[in-house]
C-alpha cells in the first residue's frame, strides 16, 4: 500500500505493508499517512475528446487485458 | 558475516539478518566469480541485523506517474520515466535499519477546468537505505518524463529501456553487465490513439493491459480515462560476500 512519509518538511511516497508502518515510523521518525489505494479505479471528469475513438480503443484494451489474464498468447 | 569461501556453503551460513516487509529471503548469487548471499526487498520496513555485517546495496526508485495534455478535442498521453538506479558499496549493517521502497508516482488527480490543458503525473518515490538514495522517475505531462529509462511520447515506438534513452545506467542489479539479462521493456506506444509508453525498469515484471514500462520502478503511462498510469514501485537488492 502507498503511504506518504513526511519528515523535516520533505515528503516521499513509499510502498509499505500497513503491518510494518509502526516499526518503520519508529526507525525513521517519519510521519506516515495512507494515500488512496493504487488499485482503485479513478473516475475523472474529462475534457471534450474524441469519444468514438476512445471507446473503440478502450474496448480493444479491455480485450487485451482479459486475454492476458487468461494466459492467452 | 563469517564467510568460509565458496566451498561447503550451507543454508545455516546465511546472514543473520531478517526483514519484516516483503522480501525474497537470502539466496546465493555470483558476481565476477565471487559468491554472495543476496536478497531482494520490495516493500518498506525494518532490517534486524545481529552483529556487524558489511554489504553492498543497489536500488531503483518508483516510476513516475503518467500524465497527458489536451488540445483541440484530443488527449495526448505521455509516458513517465522509470525510477533512477543507485548503488552503495561496503555499507556497515548493524542493529535495526530502515529500508524505504519508493512507490510509483500517480496520474493527475486534481480537478479539471476548461482552461487547464496539462494534467501532469507525479514523481515516483525515492528508494533509500543507509547512504543509498535512488530517486523516483519523473512524471509526464506535456512531454515524456525522464528517469533511469525515459518515457516516450505517442509518436515514438516505445519508452526507453535498460537506461537508454535515459540516465545511461543499465538496468541490472549492481550495474553488473553479466546480470543484464532481465530487463523491463518500455511501454509500447500507439500513435493511432496518441498514447506513449512508460520507461522500462528492472526485471520483466509485466502489468497486463497497460502502456506502463515493465519491471520494478517502471514508468507509468495513462491510457484512456479509467485506466491508471501509476508507476511501479521500486526495489532494493542487498548482497553480502560469503
| d(CA A68, nearest CA chain B) in Å | 6
- Out of A12, A23, A58, the one facing B125 most closely (by C-beta) is A12
- Determine contact, residues B105/B212, Cβ cutoff 8 Å: no
* pLDDT digit string, tens, across residues B38-80: 999 999 999 999 999 999 999 999 999 999 888 888 889 999 9
Q: Which of residues 7-36 of A touch B (CB under 8 A)?
A: 12-17, 19-20, 23-24, 27-28, 35-36
- Out of B43, B102, B225, the one facing A44 most closely (by C-beta) is B225
**DSSP-assigned beta bridge partners for residue B197:** B152
Task: Identify the residue whose cell numbers are 489536451.
Answer: B70
* pLDDT digit string, tens, across residues A8-24: 999 999 999 999 999 99
Across the range B150-172, mean pLDDT stands at 95
- pLDDT exceeds 80 at position A38: no
Beta strands in chain B (DSSP E): 17-19, 27-31, 34-41, 45-60, 67-71, 74-78, 85-100, 118-119, 127-129, 132-134, 235-241
Task: Identify the residue whose cell numbers are 518503520.
Answer: A24
| d(CA B32, nearest CA chain A) in Å | 32
**Cβ of B122 under 8 Å from any chain A Cβ?**
yes
* pLDDT digit string, tens, across residues B92-124: 999 999 999 999 999 987 766 666 789 999 999
- Report the candidate in B106, B171, B97 with the shortest Cα–Cα distance to residue B128: B97
Q: How far apart are the C-alpha atoms of B128 and B134, rounded to whole Å?
A: 6
Q: How far apart are the C-alpha atoms of B158 and B154, rounded to whole Å?
A: 8
Of residues A61 and B213, more confidently modeled: B213
**Cβ of A59 under 8 Å from any chain B Cβ?**
no
Q: What is the pLDDT of residue B230?
A: 93
Q: What is the pLDDT of residue A57?
A: 56
Amino acid at each position: 500500500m502507498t503511504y506518504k512519509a513526511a519528515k523535516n518538511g520533505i515528503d516521499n511516497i513509499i510502498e509499505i505493508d500497513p503491518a510494518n508502518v509502526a516499526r518503520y515510523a519508529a526507525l525513521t521518525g517519519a510521519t506516515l499517512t495512507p494515500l488512496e489505494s493504487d488499485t482503485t479505479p479513478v473516475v475523472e471528469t474529462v475534457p471534450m475528446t474524441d469519444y468514438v475513438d476512445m471507446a473503440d480503443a478502450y474496448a480493444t484494451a479491455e480485450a487485451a487485458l482479459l486475454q492476458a489474464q487468461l494466459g492467452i498468447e | 558475516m563469517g564467510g568460509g569461501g565458496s566451498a561447503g556453503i550451507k543454508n545455516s551460513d546465511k546472514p543473520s539478518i531478517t526483514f519484516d516487509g516483503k522480501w525474497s529471503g537470502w539466496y546465493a548469487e555470483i558476481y565476477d566469480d565471487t559468491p554472495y548471499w543476496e536478497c531482494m526487498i520490495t516493500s518498506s520496513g525494518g532490517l534486524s541485523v545481529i552483529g556487524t555485517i558489511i554489504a553492498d546495496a543497489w536500488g531503483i526508485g518508483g516510476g513516475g506517474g503518467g500524465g497527458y495534455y489536451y488540445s483541440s478535442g484530443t488527449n495526448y498521453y505521455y509516458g513517465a520515466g522509470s525510477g533512477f538506479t543507485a548503488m552503495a558499496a561496503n555499507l556497515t549493517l548493524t542493529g535495526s535499519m530502515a529500508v524505504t521502497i519508493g512507490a510509483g508516482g500517480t496520474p493527475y488527480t486534481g480537478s479539471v477546468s476548461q482552461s487547464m490543458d496539462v494534467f501532469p503525473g507525479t514523481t515516483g518515490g525515492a528508494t533509500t537505505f543507509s547512504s543509498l538514495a535512488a530517486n523516483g522517475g519523473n512524471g509526464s505531462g506535456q512531454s515524456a518524463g525522464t528517469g533511469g529509462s525515459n518515457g516516450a511520447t505517442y509518436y515514438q515506438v516505445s519508452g526507453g529501456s535498460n537506461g537508454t534513452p535515459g540516465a545511461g545506467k543499465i538496468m541490472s542489479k549492481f550495474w553488473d553487465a553479466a546480470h543484464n539479462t532481465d530487463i523491463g521493456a518500455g511501454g509500447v506506444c500507439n500513435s493511432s490513439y496518441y498514447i506513449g509508453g512508460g520507461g522500462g525498469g528492472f526485471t520483466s515484471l509485466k502489468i497486463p493491459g497497460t502502456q506502463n514500462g515493465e519491471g520494478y520502478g517502471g514508468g507509468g503511462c495513462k491510457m484512456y480515462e479509467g485506466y491508471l498510469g501509476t508507476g511501479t514501485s521500486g526495489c532494493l537488492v542487498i548482497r553480502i560476500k560469503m
